[in-house]
Structure 1
Amino acid sequence: MTNRAYDDAAGRTVGTVASLVGVTIRTLHHWDTIGLVRPSERTDSGYRLYTDADLARIHRVLVYRELGVPLNDVGTLLDAPATDAMASLRQQRDRLRERIAQLQQMGNALDRIIEARKSGILLSAEEQVAIFGRHWQPSWAEEAHDRWGDTAQWAQYAERAASRTAEHWQQISANVDALNAELAAAHHAGVIPGSDQANALAERHRESMGTFFDCTHSMHVCLGRRYATDPQFAAFYDGIAPGLAPWLRDIIDANARTNGINPESATWA
């Protein structure tokens, strides 16, 4: 370094350069400390002075930083032979493209979650009927959103639904149908609520709700009440087997008692 009195023609102070390039004085001091950009001149008083060449190097640093190149790699790029720098730049470009692809995937996933929050299920009306049966009404999803769209459980349901394909829903539907058939058979056989068999079936039903959202025993009791009293739910279960809706409520209540929940005071929690 050449020691000389301060002269605009000789160089610019750290404060001036910081204002010119839009970084802090602290940043320039750090770059000086790590050897990334060191001012080439100093005044007789020891003040750092940046030359035009130093300023050009700072701009190159800013370009690389904007591209996401780690600061530790920037100095290597700036000082490397042309061939090495090209190889490193290609590597950084490939990493950047991978990151862009990842961000695009994240954006697509968010789009699906947003749509699932609105519609409840990312299937066409035709696909829904094909998977869930001819008695399925696609409008039920919209009605469910109107009723529960502001709840944490609906948000959880939407997040899970966003990643599900038609094949996933087909498997879920098959599992639900199989469980409902077992419930109907147990009801027909006179399985008593509170028995080990009834409790096991009630627990399986609660766990099946976990496919859509985390369902506590207290929340399960609330669902059981709705199955027995809501005309739409009651008609669905009684369509599987007459009297199934109130029996399902009863085995849910009995299983809740086994797990320390009083059905009479159960809340959606």
Structure 2
Amino acid sequence: MTGTGGEKQPLWSVGALARATGLTVRTLHHYDELGLLQAGERTRSGHRRYTEHDLQRLYQIRLLRQLGMSLEEIGDVLADPAALREVLVAHLDQLDEQASRLDALRSRTRNLLEQLDGSWRPESGEFLTALGRMTTIDQYITDEQQAVLDERADALGAEGRKLLDAEWPLVAAKLVRHCEADDPVDDPGVQRATRRLFELGDLFTGGDPAILQTMLRFLRERAVPDDRGFVFGEDFLDYLDRACAVMRKN
């Protein structure tokens, strides 16, 4: 990383910081607007200059982001450092639950392999389902959340689930294209797609915000689905956060 200006410590322009971290300039500006990361210094002409202290804060923001926290939650934690311990304890509980589910998955997979090595052959659907669970959201949600999703699936019916499965990737892909084009998040097309994506999310989750946050954490950590032809990266999820902030204001 190359700093510019200042004798006491290196300073980074917003462009230099974006290139060094892989974030977009728009994302850094959004962090500034939210008060998450404001440049410690300004040039006489008003241009942002980030300090070493600002870099440390950005590291904290990205670390908390990796835990699946929303930008609003990150702001609360940074404003009250004592709250960080509660966040880490809650995250550890989630990891313990995830580890328990992975242990169960490992046991099921081992049983299937033993069956394959024996004289009995499992149904192909059973085998593929077990393998598929290795890379799906099942590793992230709790048993209680899965029960809610099962109830929602029953309520939607086969036809409703089919329509939902067909529409949500189209809406998500549209938002990805908006993000790649760097369209303003208050653009009417962006707002329509954002609103529809969350309407579909409510249909799928029954409006449970905890399940929705789990799904977003899954997308952040796994950057999927590749097979749909697009990837949910950090820049896209930050873009979606900004679009949601505008949607809530309206």
TM-score range, shorter chain: 0.3 to 0.5
Q: TM-score, normalised by structure 2?
A: 0.42
Bigger relative CO (Cα 8 Å, ≥ 6 apart): 2
Q: TM-score, normalised by structure 1?
A: 0.39
